Amino acid sequence: MPYNPSLNDIKQDFPGLVTRYSLADGRETRRHYLDSAASTLALNCARQVADEFLQHYANTHSQAHFSARIANRAYDWAHQQVLNFLGSPHAKHIACFAGSGSTAPLNRLARLLAARRPERDIVLVSLMEHHANDLPHRRHARQVIHIPLTGEAPALGAVDLAALERLLEHYRGRVNYVALSAASNVTGIVNPVHDIAALAHAHDAWIIVDASQSSAHAPLTLTDNGTVERELDAVAFSGHKLYAPGSPGVLVVRRDLLEGQEPDELGGGMVDDVSLSGYQVTNHFPDREEAGTPNIPGAVQLGAVLNVLQRIGMHRVHASEQRLLRRLLAELSAIPQVRIYGDPNPERTPRLGVVSFNLVGLEHGLVAAVLNDYHNVAVRNGCFCAHPYVRELLKPELWELDIDLDTEDTETLIKPWQGMVRASLGWYSTDDDIEALLNGINDLLAHSDHYRAQYQGDCDGNFHHRAFKVSAASLFDPETTLDRVLARPGVREALLESRTGLCASSSDNDLRMPTPDPLLPEV
């Protein structure tokens, strides 16, 4: 019977939680990682499964030897974990791996769906989208119309369902599909994707959901009540935002949307036959959509993460994160100089563990720099690859800036203010991380003049400490690290012994198969 770990069993199983850096004030402290919306840390047990798979590594598309069979079985298993994670019946939907995040799958969908119904010239995209779920549709659709959000800036909410319905009715027969995020990467605000699916399907439009920001933090299934009307036609997400850095992007899509369409990429593995006069594309999915050698170790690592999350239960992961999120929102809201973006009331507008904010009178680049250099709090600042949404949220503040818009330096003067600071939670986040962020904010507000004097801003809106200089290479350099690993006592001897042992072995009985990991299937 599979072992089902508790949430707390796994909560500390992430390399990087104990990473320490020296700070500008001379202290050395643990890093507080609050940048999970960009990329999450790696789940160690899943990484170990991938590492053990490397003992058997071989390419797929062959059954000629043990390792090839293992690779095929493990890669198929990873696809099935994706389908299981989204509650998908295997016959109706397929799972494909592509690229290194959701960008490649979303570009593929935009091209595919535009070609499938060229007579439908309009795509509706929400205003809150990451560039990955906006720009591909702009390129391939003849017209993209952005769906408004509820509320007023800076407290914008989710997609406005009434406005969406009006757009669908006004452009009846012309809307090809609706594309939106399950949750924003800027504010964490959650969209009612199944309600939107029902509206889209009532007008014979499809729905594409970018689940990159939600997949690691909240349950999401292709249908919430088992009906086709509320079913998502396609879902994309990123493994690097789901505790599996180095894994591929994921696409889950209705099989019938791919059938009969020429694949985007051609190469090995996706054809049944090739002659000098032509080639025959295979009808077998997902091979048809995955030309070339796949990222097998990355897929296995992602499959292991999804398996662990299913064993624990996404509702438990979500509930744990929501407790921290509510504390963070409440304590930030209690600081008068903090401006929070997006509707701050999670009862009225559900959110995931992402909070973007600014401190009144302080540039977002300066805030992020001080939090890092003096408090070892890792946050992100800027527009988070969602420029239209961020600018809409900031619009009231940008209008209030005392800047002469007729000067040649307008863009340079506005740039330091055209962004925000983002703190984002992960499975491993703790009250200590939130405490460190709040302490850093309060310290900066209390000594803003002192900290401002320590930094020099540049034309890109970044702030650099005048005296505290730490290069990335001094903290981690791949070549130096490799030299150190190779020089460890016993490494050279072990390499020589391993090589000698393989050469000396004369019996197949000497090659023992290691005990399989319980997260991987039997071959």
Distance, CA of 521 to CA of 100 (rounded, Å): 24
pLDDT at 516 > cutoff 60: no
pLDDT value at position 501? 58
Q: Where in the chain is the domain with CATH 3.40.640.10?
A: 91-294
Mean pLDDT across 182-197: 98
Within 8 A by CB and 6+ apart from 355, the residues are: 187, 188, 325, 328, 329, 332, 340, 422, 423, 424
Confidence of residue 193 (pLDDT cuts 50, 70, 90): very high
Contact 97, 118 (CB under 8 A): no
In this structure, what is the dihedral angle of CA atoms 159, 163, 166, 172, given to the nearest 10 degrees?
A: -30
Mean pLDDT across 269-289: 93
Mean pLDDT across 408-436: 88
Q: Please state the separation of Cα 484 from the chain's center in Å.
A: 32
Amino acid at 143: Q
Distance, CA of 270 to CA of 228 (rounded, Å): 30
Distance, CA of 204 to CA of 69 (rounded, Å): 43
- Give the CATH fold of the 91-294 domain: Aspartate Aminotransferase; domain 2 (3.40.640)
Tokens representing 285? 């999915």
pLDDT value at position 335? 98
Confidence of residue 460 (pLDDT cuts 50, 70, 90): confident
E strand segments, 319-476: 338-340, 354-359, 377-378, 380-382, 420-424, 455-457, 463-465
Angle between helix 431-446 and helix 364-375 axes, rounded to 10 deg: 120
Distance, CA of 299 to CA of 306 (rounded, Å): 11
Contact 5, 13 (CB under 8 A): no
Distance, CA of 50 to CA of 194 (rounded, Å): 34
Backbone torsions φ then ψ of 93, nearest 5 degrees: -115, 155
Residue bearing tokens 């850096």: 21
pLDDT value at position 490? 75
- Three-state DSSP class for 109? helix
Confidence of residue 399 (pLDDT cuts 50, 70, 90): confident
Mean pLDDT across 427-448: 98
DSSP symbol at 227: -
Which of 127-136, 230-239, 459-468 has the lowest average pLDDT? 459-468
Distance, CA of 218 to CA of 321 (rounded, Å): 9
Report the alpha-carbon angle 172-175-180, nearest 5.
Answer: 130
- Three-state DSSP class for 451? helix
- Give the CATH fold of the 7-30+315-383+419-470 domain: Aspartate Aminotransferase, domain 1 (3.90.1150)
pLDDT at 415 > cutoff 90: no
Confidence of residue 518 (pLDDT cuts 50, 70, 90): very low
Nearest to 246 by CA among 101, 54, 142, 372: 101
Tokens representing 35? 């940048």
Distance, CA of 148 to CA of 158 (rounded, Å): 9
pTM passes above 0.85? yes
Q: Which range is most confident: 263-272, 328-337, 458-467, 479-488?
A: 328-337
Amino acid at 139: R
Q: Where in the chain is the domain with CATH 3.90.1150.10?
A: 7-30+315-383+419-470
